[in-house]
Each structure stands twice: as C-alpha cells, then as structure tokens.
Structure 1
Amino acid sequence: MSSITIRNLNKYYGALHVLRSLDLSIASGEGVVLLGANGCGKSTLMKCLNGLETPQSGSIVIDQNDVTTAKGLRLRSIRRDIGVVFQQFNLVENLTVFQNVLYGAMGQRRGGLLTVWNSLAPKDTREKAMHCLSRVRMADKASSRCRDLSGGQQQRVAIARMLMQSPKIILADEPVASLDPKAGIEVMDLLWEVVREHNMTVFCTLHQLDLAQNYADRIVGMKAGQIVFDSSNSSADKESLAQLYQGDTRVDGASSHENEYAAPNNRPAEIA
C-alpha cells in the first residue's frame, strides 16, 4: 500500500517550470532518499508534499488524503501525521530545549500555544516531551537554551520535537547539510533508528551519495525538475548516481525558489 503517491505533478513559478510531470510512489514503511543537485526542484517537491506550495496540476495523495486539494482545517489535519526535519533546525534559540520540544504537540491539542507552554502544558504532554528527549539522548540538556547547543545537538532536539507529533510520515529536507561529517552520521543513525522503531515512512533529500547508500531502502534521483533515476539501494551504482550532478542539473533560475524551509529566528516553525 502506497503511503505517498505523486501523479503528473507540475509546479511553475511564473514561466519557470520547476516540477515537470513528476510521478513517484513510496510504500508505507519505506525509507526513500532523494538525490539531486542544488536547484533541481527537491525542496519545491518537499514543500508541495507538506502543502506549503500548491502545484498547478497533478496530485499528491498521502495515506489516502489528497494534499493538493486540502485547505484550512483539512490541511492542518493531514499535516498532523507528517513530521518535518529541517536543514536549519528552526528552533527558538532563546527558549529551552524542553520548551522547543513541547512545540511539537501544538497540532495535537486544542488551544495551540497555551497548552504547550511550560507551566500550562498537561502532565502527559510534559512527560512525553521528556521521553522524546531521552530517546534522542538529550534529556540532560532539557533546561539548556538552544542557542548554547552544537549543530548536531540542535538537530537532535528538532527530531525530538518531530517525535512529539507521533507522525506516520517523515519529510527530512537535507537534515545533515549544516553539520560536520561526524555529527551528520550521528544524526542520520538516530533518525533512521527512530524511523525503524515506529515503522514510519521517510522521504529524505540528501546530497551525499555515501549517506544515501548507507541508509536508504530505495534511491530516487532528480534532475532539472524530473525523476531520472529510481532504484533499490542494492541496485544503485555510483556511476549512475554521480551523473545526477553532471551536465544540465538545474531548473533555470530555480535558485530564487529552491530555498530551505524557513522560520523567523524567534518564532517556532509551523508544525501543525
């Protein structure tokens, strides 16, 4: 059974054709890594999957819910089952680790921000936040300010925040791009451990061929807005993967739109 089904997806920014008749299916519980050069359309695809961008045509169905037609409360409901791991962490740096993880419960309870504020959060929510921090081995940093953490530690906190949602599907957009190689491997190890424990579906964009081959069940390659490679990890060869970064890799002018998910420095990213 497919967890994510994308059919004939087209996305334009004015005359710029960013996603070109794109088709892709991801099975429930599958770990898929999407590779491709900067500007090829990866981040735009991720934003369409989470309803942050609306394609001009085609469909995205996630667990039998059509994301492309959903709006308002319906879209928020779909997003509750989708956890997102950002490249830039999108933590509120002046707040504590514990407070940032509590934000992950915002979409799960009525009342929004007030129900997850430190002193007002229900006991079970506070206990779950500490459990999530323990799972990413950051419980001892619960009272620390996020600004005082290393990049790898901040990404662990972001994963704990994502776990607060109890999502079925994880979208991870370049989750280790801001980290040094050692911290990147540690974060990928942790992310994949969590995914396997809970039998989640994960769709992850990366640049690093070695990481893709170390973690993915399946590797998909994207070039200039199109899927040009789709293979099980065991069948993927480095020569074919390397060609994703050769020749005409970009959608012309895509750099102005292919930005990472972003939230202002002192506001939590949208999690609902």
Structure 2
Amino acid sequence: MSSITIRNLNKYYGSLHVLRDLELSIESGEGVVLLGANGCGKSTLMKCLNGLEKPKSGTISIDQQDVTGARGKRLRNIRRGAGVVFQQFNLVDNLTVFQNVLYGAMGQRPGGLLTVWHSLAPKEFREKAMHCLDRVHMAEKASHRCRELSGGQQQRIAIARMLMQSPKIILADEPVASLDPKAGIEVMDLLWEVVREHKMTVFCTLHQLDLAKSYADRIVGMKAGRIVLDSNQDSADKESLATIYQGETRVDGTSMSDQEYSPADVSTTEVA
C-alpha cells in the first residue's frame, strides 16, 4: 500500500514552471531519498506534500488522504500523521528542550498551546516527552534552553518533537545540511533507527550522495522539476547519479557551470 502518491503534479510561481507533470509513489515502510541540484524543485515538492504550497494541478495523497484538496481541520488531521524534520530545526530558542518536545503533541487534544504548556500538560504527555528525549539520548538536557545546544543536539530535539506526534510518515527536508559531517552522520543514524523501529515511511531530501547510498532503500533524482531517476539503492550507479546534476537542472532553465558540477563530484560528500 502506498503511503505517498503524487500524480501529474504541476506547480508555478508566476510564469515559472517549478514542478512539471511529476509522478511518484512511495510504499509503506520505504526509505526514499530525493536528490537534485539547487533550484530543481525539491523544496517546493516538500512544501506541497505538507500543504504549505498548493499545486496548480495534479494530486497528492498521504496515507490515502488527499492533501491537495484539504483545508482547515482536515489538513491539520493529515499533518498529524506526517512528521516533519526541517533543515533549520524550527525550535523555540528561549524555551526549554522539554517544552519544545511537548509542542509535538499540540494537535492531539483540544486546547492548543494550553494542552502542552508545561504546568498544564497531561501526565501522559509529560511522560511521553521524556521518553522521546531519552530515545534521542537527550533526556539530560530537558531543562536546558534550546539556544544553549549545538546544531546536532538541536536536530535530535527536533526528532524527539516529531516522535511526540506518533506519525506514520516522516518528511525530512535536508535534515543534515546545516551540520558538520560527523554530526550529520549521527543524526542520519538516529533518524533511520527511529524510522525502522516504528516501521515508518520516510521521504528525505539530501545533497550528499554518499549519505543517500548509505541510508536509502530507493533513490529518486529530480531535474528541472521532473523525476529523472528512480532506482533501488543497489542499482543506483555513479553514471546514473551523475545525470541528475548535468545540463539544465534548474527550474528556470539555466544550466550549471563546470565550476558548479563535474562528474567526479558524485564520490564526494557535498554535491550542491
């Protein structure tokens, strides 16, 4: 059964055609990594998946529910089942680690912020928050302000907050792009461990080809708003991966220069 289904998706910004007749299906329990050069449409696709952007045409279904036509309460219900891990963490710096993790439960009961405010949160939520922090090895930081933590630690807190939702699907948008290589590997190890433990589906955008090869069950490549590669991890060779980054890769039609990319880059950590 498909967890994510995208059919004939088109998205414009003014006259700029960003996503072009895009088709993709991700099965329940799959770990799929999306690769592509800057400006190819990856981030726009992720925004469409969680309802932050509406496409011009086409459909998106998450866990058999239509995202493209959803509004208000219906969209909020869909989002509860799809946890998001962002590149920039999106934590509240002046609140404690514990309070930030509690926010992951905000949509689970009526009352909004009051439901997860530290002193008013139900015991079950407070216990679950500590369990989630323990799972990401950050329980000892529960009383610290998020601004006191390193980037890698903050991304662990973001994963714990996502776990508070008890989602079936994870949308991870460049989750290690702002981290150094060591912290990035630690975060990817943790994220994939959590996904496998809970039998979640994960759709993750990355720039790093070596990480994609290490973690993905399946690698999808995007170029100029279209899917140009869809391959099992074992059959994604250097030559096929190289095609993602060559020629006219941006949605505005401009080409990458030789300084921006060369085929040898597929063996390095950072591609774009």
- Place the TM-score, normalised by the shorter chain, in its bin: over 0.9
User: 2:58 corresponds to which residue?
Assistant: 58
Counterparts of 2:32 and 2:116 in 1: how far apart (Å)? 32
User: 1:30 corresponds to which residue?
Assistant: 30
Query: What secondary structure does 1:247 align onto?
Result: coil
RMSD: 1.0
Q: How many residues align?
A: 254
Partners of 1:16 and 1:253 within 8 A in 2: no
Task: Return the letter of the residue paired with 2:64.
Answer: Q
CA shift at 1:239, angstroms?
2.0
User: 1:180 corresponds to which residue?
Assistant: 180
Matched, 1:212 2:212: yes
Query: What secondary structure does 1:110 align onto?
Result: coil
Q: Unpaired segments of 5 or more residues in structure 2?
A: 255-272
Matched, 1:236 2:236: yes
More RCO (CA 8 Å, sep 6+):
1
Partners of 2:224 and 2:253 within 8 A in 1: no
User: 1:92 corresponds to which residue?
Assistant: 92
Q: TM-score, normalised by structure 1?
A: 0.92
Task: Return the letter of the residue paired with 1:75.
Answer: L
Counterparts of 2:100 and 2:239 in 1: how far apart (Å)? 42
Counterparts of 2:22 and 2:143 in 1: how far apart (Å)? 45
User: 1:265 corresponds to which residue?
Assistant: none
Which structure 1 residue ranges, 4+ long, deviate > 3 Å from structure 2?
Answer: none
CA shift at 1:253, angstroms?
8.2
User: 1:259 corresponds to which residue?
Assistant: none
Counterparts of 1:94 and 1:120 in 2: how far apart (Å)? 19
Partners of 1:33 and 1:203 within 8 A in 2: yes
User: 2:121 corresponds to which residue?
Assistant: 121
Counterparts of 1:141 and 1:45 in 2: how far apart (Å)? 34
Counterparts of 2:242 and 2:87 in 1: how far apart (Å)? 23
CA shift at 1:35, angstroms?
0.1
User: 2:101 corresponds to which residue?
Assistant: 101
Matched, 1:249 2:249: yes
Structure 1 stretch 90-99 or stretch 234-243: which is displaced more? 234-243
User: 2:146 corresponds to which residue?
Assistant: 146
Partners of 2:85 and 2:159 within 8 A in 1: yes
CA shift at 1:243, angstroms?
2.3
Q: TM-score, normalised by structure 2?
A: 0.92
User: 2:264 corresponds to which residue?
Assistant: none
Task: Return the letter of the residue paired with 1:226.
Answer: R
Query: What secondary structure does 2:100 align onto?
Result: helix
Residue deviations 1:75-126 (CA, integer Å, cap 9, x gap): 0111110000000000001111000000000011110101101101000000
Residue deviations 1:156-185 (CA, integer Å, cap 9, x gap): 000000000000000000000000000000
Map 1:147-162; keep pairs closer than 5 Å: 147-162=147-162
Q: Unpaired segments of 5 or more residues in structure 1?
A: 255-272
Counterparts of 1:84 and 1:35 in 2: how far apart (Å)? 18
User: 1:80 corresponds to which residue?
Assistant: 80
Counterparts of 2:168 and 2:72 in 1: how far apart (Å)? 20
Counterparts of 1:13 and 1:166 in 2: how far apart (Å)? 34
Residue deviations 1:40-93 (CA, integer Å, cap 9, x gap): 000000000001100010000111101001111110111110000000000001
